[in-house]
């Protein structure tokens, strides 16, 4: 115990700082592992291995937290990715075993669960079927304590579990009994698993542990390190437009494949339609679906590809409408109106002479007032026609009828997914679209 540790073992913040050295790394890369490491089979050992070989600390074998002096319990937990690259909990996070006999005598204020797990250092690793010390840590480590509002729920969950034991029903416990805190099965679940005694019944119960449900871990992931564009005062004074431009700058002129390589993020499947959006979100520094600043400013991002003559390859799709509702709706209450009032960020790709698609530019845009009036006219015409028994596509505003917007079908299975009209007909779903030429004209201004 004489060797000085590279962190202060009594300080949670210091432990967290040192833990950051694991970010993006595998244990193998940052710690000297012993030769017999290949023989370690217990998957729960990653946490122990991190403590021993990275932190140089052997935790006490009792009910105290791993770093008892700092009150910090270290937990490693696996995450997986959705096809859009977003992280999700691989499984529940097991906190501590439930001792049915001891829990019966515990009070909430002094319970062993919170004594041990009230403050946790969470280390997220990307789950793969490889040796645990080869699994890569993702995200920054997180010091986690339960928010007071969550503790209310967890307290109720804890009492529900305790009451079940008092009712002599430990053997009937199930994760569905509770909300955030679960009593999960412990061990492999095979027939040979030893059963536990409980205080108010002769029936032996399966071993269980307190755990946080995967859905709870997911909300931690969602709230953790929500990557904001604005990270400091300099960013803030630069303004969003400039900041976005700077984020994209290294990627202008690059093909999708090149950007994909630069960000080490590849199309999960050949026809994955959300890939472009996910890739652009990564350019902006997030694996999530939203950017806080864009949310606050109500900015909607749209990806566009221009063909070699500078026209978008696709129209811009706007909300569908309901035949029954549009006839009673006012323009300013419509979802089309709401969308057109927004600010857009067009991320523009360009098809080159070599047919490669390259990132070309970004354009912030909001629709000029005169054009909103034009779109309003298209909407009013549509409303009028639907109300007057002319809801079929052939009667509604076509691309060639208006400079700005038109009506087109939208939605899967156009022949069977039909919707009622005020006259009692059943017709396919339609939506509003902005014309290609109009978009081209606007982004080239």
Residue 275 in the binding site for DNA (CB under 7 A): yes
Q: Which is nearer to DNA, 116 or 288 (CB)?
A: 288
| 47-55, 70-78, 232-240, 430-438 -> range binding DNA (CB under 7 A) | 430-438
Burial 216-231 (b: 16+ CB within 10 A, else e): bbeebbeeeeeeebee
In angstroms, the first-to-last Cα distance of the chain is 70
Q: Which is nearer to DNA, 20 or 272 (CB)?
A: 272
Per residue, what are the HEC states of 31-48? Answer: CCCCHHHHHCCCCCHHHH
What radius of gyration do the chain's Cα atoms show? 29
Out of 23, 320, 350, 377, name the contact with DNA by CB under 7 A: 320
Neighbours of 262 (CB within 10 A): 13
Of residues 242 through 271, those in contact with DNA by CB under 7 A are: 268-269, 271
| 68-76, 79-87, 156-164, 246-254 -> range binding DNA (CB under 7 A) | 79-87
| 130-138, 140-148, 182-190, 317-325 -> range binding DNA (CB under 7 A) | 317-325
Question: Which DSSP symbol is given to 313?
Answer: S
**Which positions ≥6 away from 416 have C-beta within 8 Å?**
none
Smallest distance, DNA to C-beta of residue 180, A: 19
| 89-97, 143-151, 228-236, 408-416 -> range binding DNA (CB under 7 A) | 408-416
Q: Which is nearer to DNA, 247 or 302 (CB)?
A: 302
* Count of residues touching DNA (by CB under 7 A): 43
Q: Which is nearer to DNA, 23 or 350 (CB)?
A: 350
Q: Is 202 helix (H, G, I), strand (E, B) or coil?
A: strand
Residue 274 in the binding site for DNA (CB under 7 A): yes
Distance (Å, whole) CA 244 – CA 345:
10
Distance (Å, whole) CA 196 – CA 190:
14
Smallest distance, DNA to C-beta of residue 142, A: 21
Per DSSP, helices labelled H in 263-394 are 275-283, 292-297, 323-326, 335-340, 369-387
Residue 188 in the binding site for DNA (CB under 7 A): no
Phi, psi values for residue 365, rounded to 5°: -145, 140
Of residues 82 through 101, those in contact with DNA by CB under 7 A are: 82-84
- List the x/- string, 383-402, binding to DNA by CB under 7 A: ----------xx---xxx--
Q: Which is nearer to DNA, 246 or 272 (CB)?
A: 272
**Structure tokens, 135:** 């699994």
Out of 34, 60, 411, 420, name the contact with DNA by CB under 7 A: 411
Out of 409, 418, 420, 426, name the contact with DNA by CB under 7 A: 409
Residue 342 in the binding site for DNA (CB under 7 A): no
Transcribe 57-95 into DSSP letters: ----SSSS-SBTTTTBEEEEEEEEE-TTS-EEESS-EEE
- Cα–Cα–Cα angle for 404, 408, 412, rounded to 5 degrees: 140
Residue 374 in the binding site for DNA (CB under 7 A): no
Residue 428 in the binding site for DNA (CB under 7 A): yes
Q: Which is nearer to DNA, 362 or 435 (CB)?
A: 435
Q: Which is nearer to DNA, 201 or 320 (CB)?
A: 320
Q: Which is nearer to DNA, 2 or 269 (CB)?
A: 269
- From edge to edge, which strands make up the β-sheet containing 208-212? 93-97, 208-212, 181-185
| 7-15, 92-100, 116-124, 428-436 -> range binding DNA (CB under 7 A) | 428-436
Out of 307, 366, 423, 444, name the contact with DNA by CB under 7 A: 307
- Cα–Cα–Cα angle for 92, 98, 102, rounded to 5 degrees: 160
Q: Is 401 helix (H, G, I), strand (E, B) or coil?
A: helix
Contact between residue 193 and residue 206 where contact means Cβ atoms under 8 Å apart: yes
Residue 406 in the binding site for DNA (CB under 7 A): yes
Phi, psi values for residue 34, rounded to 5°: -70, 165
Q: Which is nearer to DNA, 106 or 322 (CB)?
A: 322
Of residues 10 through 29, those in contact with DNA by CB under 7 A are: none
Q: Is 170 helix (H, G, I), strand (E, B) or coil?
A: helix
Residue 290 in the binding site for DNA (CB under 7 A): no
Out of 41, 43, 273, 445, name the contact with DNA by CB under 7 A: 273
Residue 353 in the binding site for DNA (CB under 7 A): no
Smallest distance, DNA to C-beta of residue 18, A: 34
Q: Which of 246, 219, 218, 215 is nearest to 230 (CA)?
A: 246
Question: Interface with DNA by CB under 7 A: which residues?
Answer: 82-84, 268-269, 271-277, 302-303, 305, 307-309, 311, 314-315, 317, 319-320, 393-394, 398-400, 406, 408-415, 417, 428, 435-437
């Amino acid at each position: 115990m004489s060797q000085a540790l590279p962190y202060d073992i009594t300080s949670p913040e210091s432990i967290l700082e040192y833990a950051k050295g694991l970010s993006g790394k595998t244990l193998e890369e940052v710690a000297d592992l012993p030769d017999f490491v290949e023989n370690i089979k217990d998957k729960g050992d990653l946490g122990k291995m991190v403590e021993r070989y990275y932190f140089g600390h052997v935790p006490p074998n009792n009910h105290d937290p791993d770093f008892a002096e700092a009150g910090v319990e270290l937990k490693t937990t696996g995450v997986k990715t959705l096809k859009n690259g977003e992280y999700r909990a691989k499984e529940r996070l097991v906190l501590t075993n439930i001792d049915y006999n001891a829990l019966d005598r515990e009070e909430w204020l002094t319970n062993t669960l919170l004594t041990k797990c009230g403050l946790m250092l969470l280390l997220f690793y990307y789950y793969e079927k490889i040796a645990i010390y080869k699994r890569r840590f993702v995200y920054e480590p997180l010091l986690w304590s339960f928010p007071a509002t969550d503790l209310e729920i967890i307290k109720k969950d804890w009492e529900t579990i305790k009451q079940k034991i008092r009712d002599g029903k430990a053997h009937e416990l199930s994760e569905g009994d509770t909300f955030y805190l679960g009593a999960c099965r412990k061990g492999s679940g095979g027939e040979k698993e030893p059963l536990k005694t409980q205080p108010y019944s002769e029936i032996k119960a399966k071993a269980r542990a307190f755990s946080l449900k995967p859905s709870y871990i997911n909300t931690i992931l969602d709230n953790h390190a929500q990557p904001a564009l604005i990270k400091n005062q300099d960013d803030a004074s630069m303004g969003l437009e400039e900041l976005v431009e700077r984020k994209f700058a290294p990627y202008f002129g690059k093909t999708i494949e090149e950007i994909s390589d630069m960000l080490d993020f590849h199309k999960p499947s050949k026809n994955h339609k959300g890939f472009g959006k996910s890739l652009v979100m990564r350019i902006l520094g997030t694996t999530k679906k939203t950017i806080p600043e864009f949310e606050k400013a109500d900015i909607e991002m749209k990806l566009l590809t221009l063909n070699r003559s500078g026209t978008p390859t696709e129209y811009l799709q706007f909300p569908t409408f309901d035949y029954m509702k549009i006839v009673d709706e006012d323009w300013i209450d419509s979802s089309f109106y709401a969308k057109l009032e927004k600010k857009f960020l067009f991320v523009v790709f360009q098809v080159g002479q070599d047919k490669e698609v390259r990132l070309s530019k970004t354009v912030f845009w909001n629709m000029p007032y005169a054009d909103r009036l034009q779109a309003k006219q298209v909407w009013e015409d549509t409303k009028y026609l639907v109300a007057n028994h002319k809801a079929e596509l052939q009667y509604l505003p076509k691309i060639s009828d208006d400079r700005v917007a038109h009506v087109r079908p939208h939605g899967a299975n156009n022949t069977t997914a039909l919707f009622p009209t005020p006259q009692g007909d059943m017709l396919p779903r339609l939506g509003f679209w902005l014309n290609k030429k109009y978009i081209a004209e606007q982004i080239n201004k």
